[in-house]
Structure 1
Amino acid sequence: MSNRVVVASVLLALAVGACGERAAQAPAPAPGKELPVSSDRAAQSETLRAVVARGRLNCGVDQGLSGFSFRDNRGVWRGFSIDLCRAVAAAALGDADAVNFVPVTAENRIEMLRDGKIDLLARSTSWTFSRDAGEGVDFAGIAYYDGQGFLARKALNLQSALELNGARVCVQSGSTSQNNLTDYFRANGLTFTAVPAASNEKAREIYQTEGCDVLSADISALASARSVASNPGQHVILPDVISKEPLALAVRQNDPAWTDLVRWTLNALILGEELGVTSKNVGEMAENSTAPEVRRLLGVEAGYGGKIGLDDAFAFRAIQAVGNYSEIFERNVGAGSPLRLERGLNALWNAPRPGLLYAPPFR
């Protein structure tokens, strides 16, 4: 019997049990083996029930953002955001490949999530007051600490964004970046002409054909744009950071059980790095570690997975499938990748050069 059939059967039993005798909790398997969905917590999540019945996670992603969400030459989805989707699929379905990647735009991403066309929004989306309080979504956790900046041709010899008075600025329409530009230029007594584009990819194309003087977006997106330029060395990211952009995983607001599942899958990846658990040593750590938090995280000590509707090995599967946070970062966007991004704010809180990355304790 396949994992998905087991999961579907357990969920059906839980649903029926709500009308009669309470369903028995499925026993927790050894890490990385069977995948039963357990406890009443699973029955409370409409999204988890839909994901299990479908056998795939529908994950909303950028249409084409190098390093974060893009198709390679073979048509395979790759990137930082893609790996986060795969981690959730591994935790919830036991199969990191059980993901349907759905390209979404800045304009339709929230609507797609609210309408149930995607289960998880992993596209670069800033956690803001208006979105959290007014648009029917919840944010399960910050996956990447970013900020808005400017990409310019090195030939312009710009030292600061304060030299951009009167500039034409390419920016993605329908994004917080457009509003941030207005605030920044107004606050500094400068003028500019916005050159709006429907997507990051289109904004990059206009910039590359000199339809604008500079490109403004999240710095991660600027590094992505520079990495695919015909001559990356001819472009520079200015030192100015004009906003805070906490890029977070978003879910529907009416499913707190699903929010917890996504949140603690992300936290597991961060804790994996902090505790030294990697995709290569996760099996050894589960077998030999005596550290209590490692044992709880990897499901050796039982009783935690059921709190989010899964078995105790959910974090084991996520880390085994995609690696811990550091592995995901370095593989896709780190200093050794074409984007050449430093950890910066995305370093662990206790790193030699501390960042903001911090997960609550697993206890």
Structure 2
Amino acid sequence: MTLNKLLLIALLLTGLTMQVGAYASSLEQVKKHGAVRCGINKNLPGFAEKNSKGEWSGLDVDICRAVAAAVFADASKVEYIPVSTKDRFKSLSSGKFDILSRNTTWNLSRDTGKKITFTGINYYDGQGFMVPVESGIRSALELNGSTICAEKATTHIGNLKDYFLLNRMKYRLRTFDSAQASLQAFEQGQCDVITSDQSSLYSLRTKLKNPQSAKVLAEVISKEPLGPAVADGNSNWEKIVRWSLFVMLDAEEAGISEKNVDQVKRLSRVPAVRRLLGLEKNTGSNLGLNKDWSYNIIKQVGNYADSFDRNVGKGSPLKVKRGLNALWRNGGLHYAPPID
């Protein structure tokens, strides 16, 4: 093979490599745009919803706000882009937004086959069932022969098949393009049961004309670790999103909240706390962020408990208990590496 042919092959391979990572967001691109572009659910109370003033709120929304606080020192610098369940992965990998924060389950096939990388878990969930109260059904094991509504392009379809096969039960499946369409069919009596992540079911129930007419069954039939994701190809941006969530978890563990962060910053002599708040070293330097990046997240967005309580927990209409979403020391699964 001639030298010219070898050079041509090398150039082609270089071009292909650049093209594969071309759509991965970078810190420089985000700064140039002037806002973090965040793919979110169009309307899922507790996770992503817009009020009458056009303001977005929710547990997933707070991930976007935390990253904006880290990058711009301003949690409001977010461009929210509602995206459907069907289009979310393609939209992320093609560069339509910088983060996907949309009640999305992290699993092997998505992490390895969708050209995306999950950066953490902000909600430990599991698939469940919601039924009319008047049905008298108390357990998922009583659902044999039921017609079940579910959303297309979700993990729920496969989980449902596995659960009913394992328990030697039969069911009829009706699928819809959105959770809202599934809910509408359920309310109209087109199906006996609606299935989704339990968090989504509690959220959807608030949209019924009479929320008290339906109940969520206790059984959880799957593991659904929900979290943000970014497009493959830029490890630094991936780390910024990951550590923005970790800051919120570490802050809760340290007892630092949006309400007391300034007092703690002024008075604390605890080395780990001072590092978390950027007082003893610039922990953001390796990420390309300033030394106040973590302080800005806590001050403007809060710690994980602040976010959980106001969006889905005791301070919200959903009243979801922490359960698996408590810190590890309180019997939950949340555990973040130290800021050091």
If the length of structure 1 is used for normalisation, what is the TM-score? 0.85
**1:135: how far off?**
1.4
1:309-320 matches, cutoff 5 A: 309-320=288-299
The correspondence for 2:246, drawn from 267, 290, 310, is 267
The yes-or-no answer on 1:355 pairing with 2:323 is no
Give the aligned partner of residue 59 of structure 1: 38
2: distance between equivalents of 1:287 and 1:212?
A: 58
* Structure 2 residue matching 1:350: 3-state secondary structure: helix
2: distance between equivalents of 1:62 and 1:94?
A: 25
**1:87: how far off?**
0.9
1:37-186 matches, cutoff 5 A: 46-186=25-165
**1:46: how far off?**
4.7
1:211-263 CA-to-partner distances (Å, cap 9, x unmatched) read 21111000000000112222222211111100000001101121110111011
2: distance between equivalents of 1:336 and 1:313?
A: 28
1:41-86 CA-to-partner distances (Å, cap 9, x unmatched) read xxxx852111100101110000110111111122221111111111
1:150-193 CA-to-partner distances (Å, cap 9, x unmatched) read 01111111111111111111111001111111111111111111
1: distance between equivalents of 2:109 and 2:51?
A: 35
* Structure 2 residue matching 1:145: 3-state secondary structure: strand
1: distance between equivalents of 2:329 and 2:278?
A: 25
1:168–1:193 Cα contact (<8 Å) kept: yes
* Structure 2 residue matching 1:184: 3-state secondary structure: helix
The yes-or-no answer on 1:252 pairing with 2:252 is no
1:182-221 matches, cutoff 5 A: 182-221=161-200
**Count of aligned positions:** 317
Give the aligned partner of residue 280 of structure 1: 259
* Structure 1 residue matching 2:251: 3-state secondary structure: helix
Counterpart residue identity of residue 156, structure 2: S
1:65–1:201 Cα contact (<8 Å) kept: no
* Structure 1 residue matching 2:110: 3-state secondary structure: helix
2:257–2:302 Cα contact (<8 Å) kept: yes
The verdict on how the C-alpha distance between 1:46 and 1:169 changes in structure 2, with shifts beyond 3 A counting, is: closer
1: distance between equivalents of 2:285 and 2:121?
A: 23
2: distance between equivalents of 1:62 and 1:292?
A: 39
The correspondence for 2:306, drawn from 315, 327, 340, is 327
Which 5+ residue runs of structure 2 have no aligned equivalent?
A: 1-23
* Structure 2 residue matching 1:272: 3-state secondary structure: helix
* Percent sequence identity over aligned pairs: 42
1:152–1:238 Cα contact (<8 Å) kept: yes
Give the aligned partner of residue 340 of structure 1: 319
1:83-105 CA-to-partner distances (Å, cap 9, x unmatched) read 11111111111111111111111
